[in-house]
Amino acid sequence: MTSISEQLSDALGIMVMGMGLVFIFLSILIIGIGIVAKLFPAPIEEPVTGPATTGCAKTVGIDPKLVAAITSAIHQYRAK
């Protein structure tokens, strides 16, 4: 039978080893992600240039009955 001090020192050693392994794994993972990010950069999308808008919103064919039904449903839900 071992003493409590030996058990505590064994537990401390196992804890330090486990935390060290996790730290090393996460460090390698971060370095690997950085390398992959540099080798394969994200594609940059160029902004689409179109005709200049005057600032007023245009309706693109939304049915007014559908808008009225949604508005009515929202008002009924909020009235509860």
What does the domain layout of the chain look like in residue ranges? 1-42
Residue 62 banded pLDDT, cuts 50, 70, 90: confident
Asked whether the predicted pLDDT for residue 2 surpasses 90, the reply is no
Mean pLDDT of 55-76: 83
Place of tokens 């080798």: 39
Give tens-digit pLDDT for 66-77: 999 999 999 999
Place of tokens 């009924």: 76
Is the pTM higher than 0.75? no
